[in-house]
Amino acid sequence: MMAVLGAFLGALGVSDLFRASHDDTSTRRRITVLVVGLGVLVLLLAAAGTTGTGWFLAIPLVLALAAWTLGSAEALATRTRRAPRIVAFTGLGVGIAVSLLLTDGNTGEWPAILSGPLTAIPYNRAVLVLGVALAQLATANVIVRLTLETVGVPTTPGEQRLKSGRVLGSMERLFILGLGMTGAFTAAAAVVAAKGLLRYPDVKADHKAAAAGVRPNPVSEYFLIGSFASWLVAVAGLAVVGLDAAAVDAGIP
């Protein structure tokens, strides 16, 4: 049912992985990243059985992907301008909305040369889960960073103080997604609690350093807002997978 959404999220995930360690990217690199994302999008849509007029659906998705890729790249490079963040979030929202509101109209089948155990999973569902999982990596990190910049929390001090935050965040989101898909919600909650315990010494130390003067604690804000934004991305991905499963159970093609 949601192969188009999976293809869009997969394209975002792969393209963002290509620039994961580069905030200030050149025009050539941005175009390269965009081309990679478009290639993944077309490949997944074609493999899902998109034909004929179904390709018209790809037009707004291509524009949305371009808006996200170029807008977020500019936002990460400048940080102080609001317009690139607006473009990026608009592209992300439009792409997801189009994917959800417009039916893909295909059944999607695994290529005939593939016959392993994984092919027992419906192709469209596999594409959706893959896309959601890829979006939990670099794309989710970009979403979190743009969210922090939007609310006025500087990311640089937080990243310097809370080392390995991007890697830990990606691992944490994948854990939450995987545990949630298997119904282990208590274990997922334990992962969230564990992160708080692991980061508590860093946040506490920064609180003590800030106690002498009257000023906000950027590391605490970075941790709290960043963590909740990160968890929301994981929960949103889990909700999409759950919605797809419910639709299949209800007999919705």
pLDDT band at 214 (very low <50, low <70, confident <90, very high): very low
Token pair recorded at residue 68: 């996200």
Q: Quick check: helix, strand or coil at residue 172?
A: helix
Which region, left, alpha or beta, applies to residue 116 given φ > 0 means left and ψ of -120 to 50 means alpha? Answer: beta
6 vs 126: CA distance, rounded Å: 8
Rg from Cα positions in the chain: 19
**In whole angstroms, what is the distance from residue 231 CA to residue 172 CA?**
8
CA within 13 Å, CB half, 235? 10
Q: Which long-range CB contacts under 8 A does 216-219 form with residues at least 24 apart?
A: 218/153, 218/154, 218/157, 218/158, 219/157, 219/158, 219/161, 219/162
Give the list of residues 6+ apart from residue 107 with CB closer than 8 angstroms, or none.
49, 124, 253
Residue 218, pLDDT > 60, answer yes
Residue 237 pLDDT: 93
Of residues 166, 138, 164, 131, the one with CA closest to residue 18:
138
Centroid of chain to Cα 80:
22
Give the lowest-confidence range in 114-123, 166-175, 229-238: 114-123
Report the C-alpha gap between 169 and 167 in whole angstroms.
Answer: 5
Q: Please write the tens of the pLDDT for every residue from 88-99.
A: 999 999 999 998
CA 70-99-128 angle, to 5 degrees, is: 95
Give dist(CA 127, CA 177) in Å, integer.
15
Question: pLDDT (tens digit, 9 = 90+) per residue, 186-195?
Answer: 887 887 777 7
Lowest mean pLDDT among 76-85, 111-120, 228-237: 111-120
Tell me the pLDDT tens digit for each residue of 138-162: 999 999 989 988 887 766 655 655 5
pLDDT at 228 exceeding the cut of 80: yes
- Give the global pTM: 0.84
Q: Which token pair is 94?
A: 């439009």
Token pair belonging to 114: 């593939």
Helices and strands counted in the chain (H then E): 10, 0
